[in-house]
Chain A
Amino acid sequence: MTMGQAPPAVTTSHAAAPGGSVVWRRRRASIKRTWLELWAQPQGKAGVIVLGLAILVAIFAPVILGQGVLSIVHAPGRQFEPPSLTYPLGTDEYGRSVLDLLAWGSRTSLLVGFCAAIIAMVIGTVVGVVSGHYGGWVDTIAMRFDDWMLVIPFLPLVIVLNVLLGRGVDKTILVLGITSWPGTARILRAQVLSVKARPYMERARALGASNRHQMVKHTLPNIMPLVLANTTITIAGAILSESTLSFLGLGDPSLTAASWGTMLDGAFSEGAVSRGAWGYLLAPGIAIVLVVLAFTWCGNALEKVLNPRLQQE
């Protein structure tokens, strides 16, 4: 099925730009191959399905539900109602439907996860590639700093930063982004060092390739798979961290920016435990666990696809 679609793509790209097309054709083919191998694994398939669902919910929640369901003044139900047909997961402390809140909450949780991970990956990749490529004192300073960042306990650091910068989705993204990169930088640096020792890098150097050219055209494409696999894990970590910060009362105070963590904060601090509002307490947590697991599964499956050594085991 997929083989049948390939030939026309080849001819069109040939006709369009003869120079870059070969590279892009190869890259497109390798992305397709990776995707198929990912899909072939049960872990990868489960992860992709769960994530796809979560992303769809996050995108369409405002369209389908509207902002009205978030209003605490015009809440339809009573406080902490148990799950029923009208409110499948019960109601919150204002009488809003937990299911609606859950759908809205996916937006902030996923947004923070993705954005924070992207910031962290950009910093981590730049630090890892530059320090691995140049070596010497650049490497020493970068890795010393990296070590130092790794020693500082993560949660206290992000709490302090978030308290000092103030509450808000943008602040949370920034805080998690600038604190989540040291592990990635270290892993990528090791990979850069091994890529650097390969013969084609020597050839590139001998042909007079600039440092920039070597890093962007040769090193980066080679470590990209690792970056990708690391991104999924970083997103999972960022979603967990966001929920923890929100639970401690550092979430965004505006209604539309409520996340799963903010929901748990509201539920817990308003006494849902002693009222036995199990729908309200369990649903956001299960959502977090499912999404984090899905990212972890995707990361594991990707790593298996991209790292042939793991496949043999």
Chain B
Amino acid sequence: MTATTVDSPSPEARTASGGGRDNRIRRKLRVPMLIGRRLVGALISLLTVLVFNFFLFNVLSSDPIKALVRNRHLDAAAQAHLRHEFGYDQSLWRQFVAYMQQLLLHHNLGISTTYTQPVWSVISTRIWPTVLLVGVSTLLSSLIGTWIGIKGAWERNGRFDKISNGVSVTLYSMPEFWLGIVLLLFLAGNQVGLGVFPLGGMNDVDVDVSSPSGWVNVAWHLTLPCLTLTLAYLAQYSLVMRSSMLDEMGQDYVRTARAKGLRDLAVRRSHVVPNALLPAVTQIFLYFGFVISGALTVEYVFSWPGLGLLTEDAISGADFPLLRGLFLLFTASVIVCNLLADVMLGVLDPRVREL
């Protein structure tokens, strides 16, 4: 169908050789079609998440107002007033329509009960610290992890491989926040530690963040949380790269390259690694969901003023609107990252386009 509509503007092409031209056009359309299909899938996921989000906060939690006032004395009339204010006294269907309208037409996520500000304006100021932390640590852990994976697979079961595997699995078995606490205790604390790094926060109070010395200050504060996340997620990248390398190393073209008499380094650099890199690179995006989870607790440990610390605030304050907005943002960003990974793999790897 699509092939013929594209075909029609060039009549001479069809007379030349119909079948071959058809195939070529279909091949050209494969990537846009793949992107389109993935885009539709992601949109459906997003819509389902919107509905799910409503279900969670309006259906599953029987009485959000009770949770909100749990520790404060508030008479029944005031509670009823609050319930009316938040719209919880209406039918579920009306609540749902109002929720979707507010969200899609007015981009309104509601009012945070602890900050008494619109949820979106609370969240938006906290996005960049998290992006900085997650971005830098993802970059570092993917680079170092990939390197470890390459080296480990090439000298499989050698000393480097064994040690790096052991360390990776141990780091993987640690709660990220505990790793953070250990680093904090020994590198930032001054009782049993060295006391060289700051105990928390993003910058010292008296520092202007926009000046060059302010950047250094921020980087100094970033070091420990970033180190924690990098170490915690090293294993993911190194293990994926290692198994991807092992897959490729068994292929025929590697034997051919060796038979040609190429040096070991050349076989590795220009034959195995480029092929093995492909699945590993897309994994970076797929793991984004996990990194967000890690960032949640690590930000709390280091009082890093990002979305994770905000989530902790929302939990301790039973701030349902804020929690709902955060959950929506986390889920949406993971869906977008999955979409990027799919599309990237489709564009880079011709084998995937067939699917």
Contacts and interface: CB of A to CB of B under 8 A. Distances in A.
A159 B177 CA distance: 15
Contact of B327 (A156, A278, A292): A156
A275 B178 contact: no
B345 interface: no
Interface of B: 45, 48-49, 52, 56-57, 60-61, 169-170, 173-178, 181-182, 184-185, 188-193, 199, 289-290, 292-293, 296-297, 300-301, 311-312, 315-316, 318, 320, 323-324, 326-327, 330-331, 334-335, 338
A285 B327 contact: no
A240 interface: yes
> At the interface, is chain A mostly helix, strand, loop or mixed?
helix
A264 B181 CA distance: 9
A66 interface: no
A247 B175 contact: yes
Contact of A276 (B177, B189, B296, B330): B189
B56 A164 contact: yes
A50 to B, nearest CB: 12
19 contacts: A151-B331, A151-B334, A151-B335, A153-B289, A153-B292, A154-B293, A155-B296, A156-B311, A160-B56, A163-B315, A244-B175, A248-B312, A248-B315, A273-B181, A282-B182, A284-B178, A285-B175, A288-B173, A288-B175
A45 B323 CA distance: 44
B173 A289 contact: yes
Nearest to B314: A163
Contact of A156 (B181, B185, B320, B326): B326
Interface residues of A, number: 39
Interface in A106-155: 148, 151-155
Q: Which of A159, A240, A243, A249: most chain B CB closer than 10 A?
A: A159
A156 B330 CA distance: 7
B323 A160 contact: yes
Given A164-B60, A164-B61, 17 more contacts: A151-B335, A151-B338, A157-B327, A163-B323, A240-B173, A244-B176, A247-B300, A250-B315, A264-B177, A268-B181, A273-B185, A273-B189, A276-B193, A284-B178, A285-B182, A293-B169, A296-B173
Nearest to A236: B173
A274 interface: yes
B297 A247 contact: yes
A49 B300 CA distance: 35
A243 B312 CA distance: 15
Interface string A160-171: 110111000000
A154 B173 contact: no
Contact of B56 (A161, A236, A275, A285): A161
Contacts of B331: 151-153, 156
Contacts of A240: 173, 175
Contacts of B311: 156, 159, 248
Interface string A244-276: 100111100000000001001000100001111
B327 A244 contact: no
A243 B296 contact: no
B8 to A, nearest CB: 35
Contact of A285 (B174, B188, B290, B316): B174
A278 B192 contact: yes
A165 B64 CA distance: 11
Contacts of B182: 281-282, 285
Nearest to B171: A289
A65 B204 CA distance: 46
Contact of A155 (B49, B192, B293, B335): B293
Interface in A195-252: 236, 240, 243-244, 247-250
Nearest to B64: A164
Contacts of A159: 296, 311, 315, 323
A51 to B, nearest CB: 14
B87 to A, nearest CB: 18
Contacts of A278: 185, 192
B338 to A, nearest CB: 6
A152 B177 CA distance: 21
A249 B315 contact: yes
A161 B182 CA distance: 29
A160 B137 CA distance: 26
A119 to B, nearest CB: 18
A276 B191 contact: yes
B191 A244 contact: no
B56 A148 contact: no
Contacts of B188: 273
A273 B181 CA distance: 8
